[in-house]
Amino acid sequence: MEFSALEIATFLSGEIIGDPTIKINNVSKIEDGKPGTLTFLANLKYENFLYETNASVVLINADFVPVREVKATMIKVKDAYAALSSLLDLYVKSVPEKRGIEQPNFIDQSAKTDNASYLGAFCYIGKNVSLGKNVKVYPHAWIDDNCIIGDNTILYSGVKLYAATQIGKNCIIHAGAVIGADGFGFAPLEDGSYKKVQQIGNVTIEDNVEIGANSTIDRATLGTTHVKKGVKIDNLVQVAHNVVVGENTVMAAQFGVAGSTSIGQNCVFGGQAGVAGHLKVGNNVTMAAKTGATNNIKDNTLLMGAWGIEASRFRRAEAVFRNLPELVAEVNNLKKEIRKIKNE
């Protein structure tokens, strides 16, 4: 599909600087911009590319003022990144959706699938499963007994939902994710072996949650592992049994949280960060990449480092650590001087 700069600006309620008639039919990164494409500038570290890009149209923030001439047509919007997201939504909606029921597959007679818009080949849908309106289940997905899936939710290929999992509306679960597997529960015995503790709870995921490829959310030992609305989970994330994740929290790849921990709302967890079990994490907590937490965390805290140190303290400690070889040499010299003074 082809759009003019004027049509895009009208859709985004933006201001055009340049040629309103110029046409685009694709998108590109600003550093790799090509004629006939649209790109955007939201992060100022890419500003230099703005003056060199060959893209035809660039979305920029309304408060941004170029310091050099820009050959592309610019469209000023309140938030360039959000505006790009709106355009990409428009593009996705223009792509024909998958519809109908493909064969072969297995759908138990007791399952309610009439409202689903797409069931891919080789999917398995167990007893008493309920699928909401416009649900899409891609090939090789497995939905065990008594699962409930809300309207407009998408399960991509290879998703596994264990029994009694509940998924809300407008969720997206990417390929290979496993929801409802047994939590890691084993009781140590006197002979050094371990006895499995049966996991008989479930997983509940509220509306507007997205779960990345190959992530896992374990069922509760008793009760529910609960992911609240608006949560965004990246690929390769582990959420253990009986964890509660608060609204609009985001988790980057390889983050892990151990069992029975409660996480507040609007938290941000960087890649490879980890939270130990049986803790309480407050609201608006941020943990930088590779940060570990072994104690409760208060609201509005920023943690950094493997020991989960408050950010300002961590930066001071890091400054000392960077100079540690010099400090050690200085201490050794002082020790030599002290010994010399004592000998004299």
Decide if 299 contacts 282 (C-beta within 8 A).
yes
263: Cβ contacts below 8 Å, ≥ 6 apart: 243, 244, 245, 246, 249, 257, 275, 281, 285
Q: Is 50 helix (H, G, I), strand (E, B) or coil?
A: helix
CA distance 333 to 33: 58
The position carrying tokens 């818009």 is 117
The H or E element containing residue 313 is helix 311-322
> Tokens standing for 264?
């507040």
Q: Is 302 helix (H, G, I), strand (E, B) or coil?
A: strand
Residue among 330, 271, 343, 263 at smallest CA distance from 296: 263
Decide if 26 contacts 119 (C-beta within 8 A).
no
DSSP 112: B
Burial of 278 (0-12, 13-18, 19+ CB in 10 A): exposed
Decide if 293 contacts 287 (C-beta within 8 A).
yes
Rg (CA), the chain: 27
The residue annotated as part of the active site, out of 140, 174, 226, 241, is: 241
The H or E element containing residue 331 is helix 324-343
Burial of 135 (0-12, 13-18, 19+ CB in 10 A): buried
Check if 241 is active-site: yes
Catalytically active residues are: 241
